[in-house]
């Protein structure tokens, strides 16, 4: 069995992730230009030493916007994973131990959520609650709930029939204790993999919503909205506007998926990966 | 078998009811009075009230849902304020373009995934395997709209090999008479080679862009299945009968690896449907997805809302059909599902 850290792909994923995280946390503090500072003297300037990623039509520095965009994407990714894990996980646990009626009701609810292609469900939420970055995050989180809930339920159903859990029940342990001490810890490996995978999904979907105008709105330095803004200039020669934010999304999602893959291989060597999306 | 099918139909119906409830609640949460939006701010209060009554907006929530669903199922999907046309008419007119693009995208994804999976399992070398693996990670991580834009930058702007974002046909090409609505088929039926070639040239970039994510997904699925199946005894038997390794893989392992792919076809369909919203706008493709993005830009959400519910219906129904097909093709599936429930 290969261990974490053995191969180059994994090292690459960690490196990308570390760069993006450091850039997102420290970049906006260190870089002198702000994401919304306009410089009308230098609109649509090509990448140079002063503007490593060029400037947009209002002379805003694309690198500064890229860094803030990383902050937005990673933050939304983290929020979505947290919310999806807590809500979806709770539903999954309740369905797994709650008995037949609870299980049926909860799983039909999950089926209804999963009846939409994930991106479309997120779209529906933003249309209903009003367009914006916050509602986009809520929509993406909601669309990730079925991923977590189904996986968690399956895990709980599997683990709760294992001998050590039954022994604990037989010894009179309380339900809360069994869940906290015996069931949840054993779902950690699958949940960890799912978290990494959903993190990538969230970043990709956020960019998609921003691109079609249902997420962050255009002056906001969000990667998807930046690509929309850059689209009209891409074919007139100002390729840097759309190129860099897209690369950001690509790198972030690939890093997340590589981590998910590698974790899966090391933590659950035997399970066939339960694919999201 | 019958029990399995009827059970599957019931669960599909339940999830559709649930999905339509979600769509309905979200629709009601949308700020603004639909009647007021429709009539404009200068209309009198009487007219607004009359329209509210006509639209069934005054009844209880339950009766409103009932009316909403009745209308949806009878094909009355509302009215688009920005274009002055019915949503159903608009979507229907745009559908052939989306279907044609989706078919080509699926074709690309399927062929590419099968060949990549075969190559990486057959030639287990670090180069072929690693290269294809990297490609699949790229396919699943790249934002499709951005990839499309970059493709345009390279192949249209850079080399000038392929047409730019101008829709399904060049400006100088006369569209063939409409029979199926699919331009490639229609131009062939009309015997119009120029239009056919032009339609194909216009399809290449959008289809590859839209097919990229399904390709990554299919490849990973197929590859995992092939890996397992090539270790099965019947492959050894096939080799023992004197088949070459390649023949044993292609003729015996590959067909068996397809079944799990079939059950994932519903997911694939969802990817294509959602992807069309992201991709069509980049290529100014006159399909349903571009209609949705136009609706968002013009703050005319009636089209978006109809598309959302419609896609849930298409998505659930495809999964239903595919599951039943899988059960018919493979008795093991029928047994595991029928017995477990």
Q: What are phi and psi of A61, to 5 degrees?
A: -75, 120
| pTM for this model (two decimals) | 0.89
* Mean predicted confidence (pLDDT) in B308-313: 88
The predicted pLDDT at position B3 comes to 80
Q: Which of A187, A120, A253 is nearest to B137 (CA)?
A: A253
Q: How far apart are CA B313 and CA A93, in angstroms?
A: 29
Measure the CA dihedral B234/B235/B240/B244, to 10°.
150
Q: Nearest by CB to B267, from A207, A250, A277: name it.
A: A277
* Mean predicted confidence (pLDDT) in B103-125: 86
For residue B43, pLDDT over 80 is answered with no
For residue B205, pLDDT over 60 is answered with yes
Domain boundaries for CATH 1.10.3720 within chain B:
88-286
* B149/A272 touch (CB, cutoff 8 Å), yes or no: no
Residue B52: CB partners within 8 Å, gap ≥ 6? Answer: B33, B35, B58
The predicted pLDDT at position A3 comes to 47
On whether any CB of chain A is under 8 Å from the CB of B153, the answer is: yes
B96 Cα to chain A: minimum distance (Å)? 20
Residue B86, strand partner residues: B79
Q: B333: pLDDT confidence band, cut at 50, 70 and 90?
A: low
Q: How far apart are CA A188 and CA A184, in angstroms?
A: 7
Please tell me whether the interface predicted TM-score (ipTM) of this complex is above 0.90. no
Q: A204: pLDDT confidence band, cut at 50, 70 and 90?
A: very high
* A113/B311 touch (CB, cutoff 8 Å), yes or no: no
What CATH number is associated with residue A159?
1.10.3720.10
The predicted pLDDT at position B334 comes to 62
Q: Are A230 and A245 in contact (CB under 8 A)?
A: yes
The predicted pLDDT at position B134 comes to 85
For residue A84, pLDDT over 60 is answered with yes
The residue that leads in pLDDT, A41 or A256, is A256
The residue that leads in pLDDT, B289 or B123, is B289
Condensed to tens digits (0 to 9), the pLDDT of residues B273-296 reads 888 999 999 998 998 888 888 888
Q: Provide, as residue numbers in chain B, all residues whose Cβ is less than 8 Å from the Cβ of A212.
A: 277-278, 281, 292-293, 296
Residue A40 placed within a domain: no
Q: Which domain holds residue A105?
A: 6-31+58-267
B305 to chain A: nearest residue by CA?
A124
* Mean predicted confidence (pLDDT) in B89-114: 90
The predicted pLDDT at position A1 comes to 44
Q: B259: pLDDT confidence band, cut at 50, 70 and 90?
A: confident
Condensed to tens digits (0 to 9), the pLDDT of residues B294-308 reads 888 887 788 888 888
B307 Cα to chain A: minimum distance (Å)? 9
Residue A114 placed within a domain: yes
The pair of structure tokens assigned to B90 is 């608009």
Residue A53 placed within a domain: no
Residue A183 placed within a domain: yes
In which residue are the tokens 């230009």 written?
Answer: A33
For residue B181, pLDDT over 70 is answered with yes
* A116/B27 touch (CB, cutoff 8 Å), yes or no: no
* Mean predicted confidence (pLDDT) in A99-128: 89
For residue B212, pLDDT over 60 is answered with yes
Q: Nearest by CB to A127, from B277, B278, B304: name it.
A: B304
**Domain count of chain A?**
1
Fold classification of B88-286 (topology level): MetI-like fold (1.10.3720)
**Which of B:6-65 have CB within 8 Å of A?**
11, 14-19, 21-23, 25-27, 29-31
* Mean predicted confidence (pLDDT) in B92-121: 89
**Percentage with pLDDT > 90 across chain A:** 39
A236 to chain B: nearest residue by CA?
B157
On whether any CB of chain A is under 8 Å from the CB of B274, the answer is: yes
* B18/A117 touch (CB, cutoff 8 Å), yes or no: no
Q: How far apart are CA B122 and CA A266, in angstroms?
A: 25
């Amino acid at each position: 069995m290969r261990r974490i850290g053995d191969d180059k792909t994994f090292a690459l994923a960690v490196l990308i992730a570390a760069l993006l995280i450091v850039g997102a946390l420290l970049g906006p503090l260190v870089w002198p230009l702000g994401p919304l500072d306009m410089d009308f003297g230098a609109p649509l300037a090509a990448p140079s030493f002063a503007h490593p990623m060029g400037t947009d039509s209002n002379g805003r520095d694309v690198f500064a916007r890229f860094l803030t965009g990383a902050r937005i994407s990673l933050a939304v990714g983290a929020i979505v994973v947290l919310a999806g894990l807590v809500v979806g996980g709770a539903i999954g646990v309740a369905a797994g131990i709650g008995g037949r009626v609870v299980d049926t009701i909860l799983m039909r609810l999950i089926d209804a959520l999963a009846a939409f292609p994930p991106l479309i469900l997120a779209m529906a939420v933003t249309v209903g609650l009003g367009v914006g970055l916050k509602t986009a995050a809520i929509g993406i989180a909601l669309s990730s709930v079925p991923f977590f809930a189904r996986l968690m339920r399956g895990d709980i159903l599997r683990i709760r029939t294992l001998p050590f859990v039954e022994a604990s029940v037989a010894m009179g342990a309380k339900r809360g204790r069994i869940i906290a001490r015996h069931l949840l810890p054993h779902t950690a490996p699958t949940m960890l993999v799912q978290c990494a995978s959903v993190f990538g999904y969230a970043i990709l979907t956020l960019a998609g919503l921003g691109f079609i105008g249902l997420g962050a709105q255009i002056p906001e330095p969000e990667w998807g909205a930046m690509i929309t803004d850059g689209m009209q200039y891409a074919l007139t020669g100002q390729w840097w506007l759309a190129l860099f934010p897209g690369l950001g999304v690509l790198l972030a999602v690939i890093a997340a998926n590589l981590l998910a893959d590698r974790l899966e291989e090391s933590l659950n060597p035997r399970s066939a990966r339960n694919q999201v999306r | 078998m019958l029990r399995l099918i009827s059970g599957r139909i019931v669960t599909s119906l339940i999830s559709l009811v649930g999905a339509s409830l979600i769509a309905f609640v979200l629709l009601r949460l949308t700020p603004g009075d639909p009647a007021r939006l429709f009539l404009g701010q200068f209309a009198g209060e009487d007219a607004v009230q009359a329209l509210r009554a006509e639209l069934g907006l005054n009844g209880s929530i339950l009766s409103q849902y009932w009316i909403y669903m009745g209308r949806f199922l009878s094909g009355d999907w509302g009215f688009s304020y920005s274009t002055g046309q019915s949503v159903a008419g608009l979507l229907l007119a745009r559908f052939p373009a989306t279907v044609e693009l989706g078919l080509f995208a699926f074709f690309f994804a399927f062929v590419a995934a099968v060949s990549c999976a075969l190559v990486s399992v057959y030639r287990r070398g670090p180069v072929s395997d690693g290269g294809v693996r990297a490609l699949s990670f790229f396919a699943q991580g790249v934002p499709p709209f951005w990839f499309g834009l970059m493709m345009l930058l390279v192949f249209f702007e850079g080399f000038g090999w392929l047409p730019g974002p101008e829709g399904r046909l060049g400006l100088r090409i006369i569209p063939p008479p409409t029979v199926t609505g699919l331009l490639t088929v229609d131009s062939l039926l009309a015997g119009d080679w120029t239009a056919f070639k032009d339609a194909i040239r216009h399809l290449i970039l959008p289809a590859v862009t839209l097919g990229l994510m399904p390709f990554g997904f299919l490849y990973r699925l197929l590859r995992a299945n092939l890996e397992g199946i090539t270790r099965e005894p019947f492959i050894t038997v096939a080799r023992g009968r004197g088949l070459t390794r390649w023949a044993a893989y292609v003729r015996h392992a590959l067909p068996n690896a397809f079944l799990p792919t079939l059950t994932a076809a519903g997911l694939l369909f969802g990817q294509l449907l959602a992807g069309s919203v992201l991709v069509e706008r980049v290529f100014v493709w006159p399909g349903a997805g571009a209609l949705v993005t136009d609706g968002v830009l013009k703050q005319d959400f009636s089209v978006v809302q109809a598309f959302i519910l419609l896609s849930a219906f298409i998505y659930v129904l495809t999964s239903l059909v595919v599951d039943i097909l899988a059960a018919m093709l493979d008795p093991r599936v029928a047994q595991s599902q029928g017995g477990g429930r």
